[in-house]
Each structure stands twice: as structure tokens, then as C-alpha cells.
Structure 1
Amino acid sequence: MRQRLLALTAALAAGALTLTACGSRDEGNKGGGGSGDVKVVIGLDAPLTGDLSALGLGMKNAADLAAKTANKKKFVDGVTFEIDARDDQAQPSVGAQNAQAFISNKDVLGVVGPLNSSVSQQMQKPFNDAGLTQVSPANTGTELTQGDGWKDGNSVRQFDTFFRTATTDEVQGAFAAEYLFNEAGLKKVYLIDDQKTYGAGLAASFKANFTKLGGKIVGNDHINPDDRDFNAVVTKIKKTGAEALYYGGEYPAAAPLSQALKDSGQAIPLMGGDGIYSGEFPKLNKKAEGDLATSVGEPVEKLDSAKDFIANYQAEGYEDAYEAYGGLTYDATWAVIEAVKLAVEGNDGKLPSDGRKAVLEAMSKIKFQGVTGEISFDEFGDTTNKTMTAYKVKDNAWAPEYSGSPKLD
């Protein structure tokens, strides 16, 4: 056994000597690139198995489509893109392991993901220490970019390597509050979160903005996101006269929570953020009709900028839907591709020897028309697109109700 390990170690070491910091030569002509192209790998981290896999697989496919499109177009002369997709199982510890794997692979010049803010918290510092660009299409925790000081107007950028095409919970919570209070006319809300980074932050933002408008939080609770029996909490809600339940969390728990609410005789909607905006939500909830969710941007199906993405996604024959984050993931992946292009063009048509540094420097200059609209980043690494959409379950599927931007102070 020891001899086999030594032989394997030697082989790996020899292989490593053939690589450079800017990528390796792709002799397999994968994805439509030329045989002499430099290979650039873009990492993709998401839950590809488990309860949240519907969202994660949509992310994986969208990233794959972006790389294939860039290769077919020869968008960056002399470069072939590949996606290295890794499953974080929605677990921070697994995400941390994936981060180290991406860092160790010198061909990886950017990472797209993850889905969960709690996972991202374990990835940001390692990526920052390694100078490796990270672009999330789904992390909405405001503190990830601006620190805890954002609540007091003292935002400070946390990591130079972190960017996102999704907007923040500050924006999403404010939009949800304004929609529920002004558009839906509901003034009394019961508030529940799953105690995770995403859910707790979103619930807090909703509460602050809803009460500021004059709305009343008639009760507040926390649940374990792994629970599926919610009879006790819905009994408490019934006594408060709540007109709606706002839930900070994700669809695997939100669906049975909503059904328990309706089974108890309460004909009020459950509303949540983009974590419940999945086609799986109405599948898991027999009484989802009338429930509400918010998600980033306008519906991709209504955007002229998304027509090619939708057509190409269908043409590739992916088994899984692109889901809530498909368009945002394509744009996040394309942002890395655009940065690689800028790095190459600024270095006489060749990828610089320090590809990671060049890509990171290029990210602040990124501006392009993406699937979800214009893509660019502000001084914190946040998307400049603050548009949100409210959706309602109608006939067992999400349907867009209202799009706009919140009135932030």
C-alpha cells in the first residue's frame, strides 16, 4: 500500500509541474475550443444532492451552458472554459472543503456560488486569502459584502474577492414589506425564521421595513429547518389574528409549514423570499394556492435579454429546470468569462502568468448586458440591479404579480 501511495504521489507531482498559474493546455479540444487553447476552469459550488438540489442543479446547468456558449463563440481567443461543479450538500463544512479544492487547482480562475449564505461564510476568507474571485448568484445576506455595520449605515466591504449577481436581503426584505403592506394590503403578520444565516437575516430585514411602514408583527418564532411537523406553531399563529405568515427560510420547510397553516383552518398566505421560489414548493404543498414569494430581478421568461438563454438551455436538453437562480448563475459565470477576456486583452492576447490576480482586477470593470439585465458591481461587490419581483402560486405554479425596486432610505 505504501508503495502505491508513493507512486501516486510522484505521478501527481509530475503532473503538477506541467501546469502554470494561468491554466493548462487543453489537448482534448473540449467544448468547442481549439486544440492549442489554454484551459481555464470556473468552479461551481452548490447543493447538487439533498433537499435543495433542485436549485443547485439549475445553477450547475446554467454555468455549464455559459461555458459552452463562450467556447462555441470563441469569446476569448485562445481560451477554452470548463466547469468544475462540486456538491456542498448545503453544508458549510463541505463548502469549506470545496473551497480548498478550488484553491488548490491553479486552473481555477473564478468560482460561481454557493447557494446558501451560511456556506459562503466559510468560503469567503479562504478565497480572499488566495486572491480567487467568487461570484454568487444566490447569496443575499447583506453582511456578506457590507459587514454588520450596514444596519447602522456603516457599511464596509468585507472581502475584495466576493461579488454577487443576486441583490441583498436589505433590498429583498424591504421589497417584500412594501408589497405586502401597500400592494396586498395586509397589515398584521406573524414572523418565523429557520435560524440560518439567510432566513434570519431576511426575516430581520422584513420586520424592520414592515414596522417602519406601519405594519404590525403579531408574533415571532423560530423553527428547525429539518422539522416537518408544525402543528404547534400554527396553533399559536391562529390566536394572533395574523393576516399573513412571513417565513425566512427555504422551500423544504416552507411547504409543509404552509400546508399545516391551511390545514388548521387559516386561509392566510405564507410569504417568503427567493429561498422558497422554486417549482418544488407547490409540488410539496397541496395547499400552496395564494402563497407569495419574492425573487431577484424580473421574470426571465419576460425579458428579451433572456430569450437566447432559455432557448439554448432547452436545446441542451438538461433534465433539470434552471429554477430561480438559472439566469443569475449564467450571468455570474459570464462575469468571470468577461473578466478573463479583459485580462487577455490587456496582456497582448495571452492570459497573464498570474491569472487570478488579473481576473480579480478586471471584475471592477465588468459591465455587460446579461440574461437578467445589465450586470455590473458597486463598491461592495453587490449587483447594481435592485429590481425584485413578487410571485403568487396560481394553479399550482408561481406566477409573477408585481416587479419594482424598494424605496430604501
Structure 2
Amino acid sequence: MTAALAAGALTLTACGSRDESGGDTTGGDTTTVVIGVDAPLTGDLSALGLGIKNSADLAAKTANKEKYVKGVEFKIEALDDQAQPSVGQQNAQKFISNKDVLGVVGPLNSSVSQQMQKPFNDAGLTQVSPANTGTELTQGDGWKTGDSVRQFKTFFRTATTDEIQGAFAADYLYNQAKIKKVYLIDDQKTYGAGLAASFKTNFTKFGGKIVGSDHINPDDRDFNAVVAKIKKTGAEALYYGGEYPAAAPLSQQLKDSGQNIPLMGGDGIYSGEFPKLNKKADGDLATSVGEPVEKLDSAQTFIKNYEAAGYEDAYEAYGGLTYDATWAIIEAVKLAVEGNDGKVPSDGRKAVLDAMAKVKFDGVTGAISFDEFGDTTNHTMTAYKVKNNAWAPEFSGEPKLG
């Protein structure tokens, strides 16, 4: 990692008066830089959202403890988007209106991000998501035909795309699990639909067969009708594009019907909540970005200090990616300050955005840098299986495209 992580929680000083360098002063020569965090902090997806908030908080406290950017103290401002695009859009405006916010981490949901990207872009405010995987967010709809065009200069992510994740899942199911017939369901949201589409494209290219497909409402919890349809197809697995609140009861009702086949999904179901909500989760599969954090040497200090900080909620699937997303903004602030005689520039947002193209460091999840679209250059994925009611890693690597 770029710097050792600090154990324990630190007290952040409140913002003071505005100084000539463009930031707020907290006394002496210290300038406060605010990093916004947008995530679902309440509701069904709050387990993931709180892990994002806490991991960003740890990164800011670490930078402050180490005085990583001389003369700068980082403060986290977290807003709850409730996993609702309209709320995310309102939060974006709140961040934009706070002149001390020089970067925003989040959100969790690609559908929420779609409502935040343009306002941030218009304001020149850097956004780094640890969780958005919708390929079109960075490359536009043209990516499907090989005509990728960057959509917003302010958007970056430490999570890889659905194009890569769907291909990895298809490769794993067809070539390693030897499953040839799959039933396909998505929740009609940006993330779920995009993931299912990528999986279908690659699975059929490998030679697999989609024996049936359906769409569900992500708020539904009674799936007996679709489960009965699956039973008639002879499917060997169910691939679900969506998130764990619906995936868990869908999987259990599938098993309750006598179908002993796995449900597989993406990082949206890779949560400790999935096996808690599903009494028959054993054997189910998920993919998630990067290698298992617990197995990375680069992540051991993060894990130790997250635990030492005493957060009530787990760092969950996006903890390491969030720490790296936050640290990317911290690195950009450092570059901006170093290029302005050791002070936060008066045009801090522009300076931070300009610096993002130069950001490169060894993070919790591996080497962090961004390509011409703002996408992470790390394409490693991991397949997980539920064993004894907990996720266990099965295989890590980069996907073979169908």
C-alpha cells in the first residue's frame, strides 16, 4: 500500500473560515478538504452502503494521521441515497453546492450513478465509484458494437465493468463448473440487466444454452411462479442479474421446489447478508471484483485497522475498493497541492480532476490506475461459493471472452 494504515479513530476538526488558497482553514496552515460519500445507508442494501461509508472514513483518517498531504486535513461527508436514483441526484447537488468538496466516492448502484454523472461532470467534480459496474457508464451504449466513447470526464471507478464480470461468470460456469444449460433472470435495473446481457452473450458464445429467461421486480419476494417455469426447462443453474435482497428468497424458493441447482449472480449478491437471508444458500455462486481481500498481502493492514477502528458494520464486498477509491482522490489532492506550492489551489476541483489521469499507486485491492475511459486497469475477478453458510473463494483470474 502507498502508506501504512492507522489503527483507531481520529477526531476530525470542524471546518473553519475560507482562506485564500480556496479551502477552509482549521487553524494554522491546515486546509480542510471534504470528500463526499454517496451510498445507501438505510434500506435493504444498507449493509453494502455502510461498508462503503466506513471504508472511506478509514482512508481519510489514515491520511490525516500520517499527514499524507501536508497542510491538508480530510473530512468525509456521507449522504444516504436509499438506492434511489432521484435521491442520488439530490445528493449530487448537495455535494456540488459545498465548495469544499473536491471529490465524491460512490454510489453503489449504477442506476443511481446515471443521475449523478452529468451534474458532477457539469460542475467539474471528480467522482470515483467502488461499485458501479454498468459498462455504459464509462463507454456509452456503443461498447456493445466496439464503438466505446468516454461519457463523462469526471467519472472513474475502481470496480471493473459488467462486460468483464459477465464474461468471467460465463467462463466459470461453462468451462469450470461444466454447466451447459442456464435459466436467466434480471431485475430490470441498470446493473442487473447489463450483467445478465453480458453473461448471455458470452455463455452462448462458449456453446451454452439459455433455456429460458424472465424479468422480476426487485421488490418482490414471492417467486413461486417463475420457479415453476424454471423447473420445466431442465436448467442446470439459474443466473440472476440483481442484488441480494431478491436473490436470497429466489434461491431458497428454487431449492424448496425440489430443484437442487445453484443460483449464480454478480457482486450485487456477494454479501454476508445473502446466506443470512437464504437458509439453503450452500452451493450458490457469485462473482466479485479483484482477488479476495482477505488473501491479499496488500489488504492485511486494512483489515486489521478496520477492525481496530471499531466500526459496527462489516466492510463487506466493496470495502477494499472503497478505500482505494477514496485514496485515489487523496492522491489527486496531493498532486494538486504539490503542483501549487504546497497549497490547495483556488480551482481545487479542476486541479484534482486534472491529477486523476496521473494517479497510480499500490492499493488494498492491488495496483490502482485508470484507463482512457476512467475504468480500472485491474480486471481480475473471483468466483465465490457458499459453503457452510458463508462465502468462500473458488477461483480468481481474468475472464476468457466467449
* Distance in 1, Cα, partners of 2:20 & 2:124: 16
Match of 1:155 in 2: 148
Aligned positions, number: 388
- From 109, 122, 128, the equivalent of 1:129 is 122
Q: 1:82 to 1:98 in 2, by over 3 A?
A: same
Deviations 1:68-92 (A, max 9, x none): 0000000000000000000000000
- From 39, 45, 55, the equivalent of 1:46 is 39
* Distance in 2, Cα, partners of 1:269 & 1:408: 22
Asked if structure 1 preserves the Cα contact closer than 8 Å seen for 2:16 and 2:25, the reply is no
How many Å apart are 1:19 and its aligned residue? Answer: 6.3
How many Å apart are 1:407 and its aligned residue? Answer: 2.2
* Distance in 2, Cα, partners of 1:151 & 1:170: 9
2:186 is aligned with 1:216: no
SS for the counterpart of 1:82 is: strand
How many Å apart are 1:349 and its aligned residue? Answer: 1.0
How many Å apart are 1:314 and its aligned residue? Answer: 0.5
* Distance in 1, Cα, partners of 2:116 & 2:379: 25
TM-score, normalised by the number of residues in structure 2: 0.95
Asked if structure 1 preserves the Cα contact closer than 8 Å seen for 2:45 and 2:83, the reply is yes
Match of 2:365 in 1: 372
Map residues 2-401 of structure 1 onto 2, 5 A cutoff: 18=18, 22-27=22-27, 35-401=28-394
Deviations 1:356-376 (A, max 9, x none): 000000000010000000000
How many Å apart are 1:18 and its aligned residue? Answer: 3.9
* Distance in 1, Cα, partners of 2:66 & 2:303: 17
How many Å apart are 1:17 and its aligned residue? Answer: 8.3
Asked if structure 1 preserves the Cα contact closer than 8 Å seen for 2:165 and 2:381, the reply is yes
Q: 1:100 to 1:20 in 2, by over 3 A?
A: farther
SS for the counterpart of 2:183 is: strand
SS for the counterpart of 1:69 is: helix
The one-letter code matched in structure 2 to 1:86 is L
Asked if structure 1 preserves the Cα contact closer than 8 Å seen for 2:332 and 2:352, the reply is yes
Give the RMSD, CA atoms, in angstroms: 1.2
* Distance in 1, Cα, partners of 2:237 & 2:269: 16
TM-score, normalised by the number of residues in structure 1: 0.93
How many Å apart are 1:347 and its aligned residue? Answer: 1.0
* Distance in 2, Cα, partners of 1:258 & 1:332: 32
Q: Which has the higher contact order (CA 8 A, sep 6+)?
A: 2
Q: 1:282 to 1:124 in 2, by over 3 A?
A: same
Task: Show structure 2 runs of 5+ residues with no match.
Answer: 1-14
How many Å apart are 1:20 and its aligned residue? Answer: 6.3
How many Å apart are 1:403 and its aligned residue? Answer: 0.2
Asked if structure 1 preserves the Cα contact closer than 8 Å seen for 2:171 and 2:401, the reply is no
Q: Which is greater in Rg?
A: 1
Deviations 1:272-295 (A, max 9, x none): 000000000000000000000000
Match of 1:4 in 2: none
Asked if structure 2 preserves the Cα contact closer than 8 Å seen for 1:66 and 1:330, the reply is yes
* Distance in 2, Cα, partners of 1:72 & 1:408: 44
* Distance in 2, Cα, partners of 1:70 & 1:63: 11
SS for the counterpart of 1:293 is: strand
Task: Show structure 1 runs of 5+ residues with no match.
Answer: 1-14, 28-34
The one-letter code matched in structure 1 to 2:279 is K
SS for the counterpart of 1:278 is: coil
How many Å apart are 1:310 and its aligned residue? Answer: 0.4
* Distance in 2, Cα, partners of 1:21 & 1:132: 18
* Distance in 1, Cα, partners of 2:16 & 2:99: 9
SS for the counterpart of 1:221 is: strand
The one-letter code matched in structure 2 to 1:23 is G
Asked if structure 2 preserves the Cα contact closer than 8 Å seen for 1:22 and 1:40, the reply is no
SS for the counterpart of 1:351 is: coil
How many Å apart are 1:26 and its aligned residue? Answer: 1.5
How many Å apart are 1:22 and its aligned residue? Answer: 3.2
* Distance in 2, Cα, partners of 1:295 & 1:51: 19
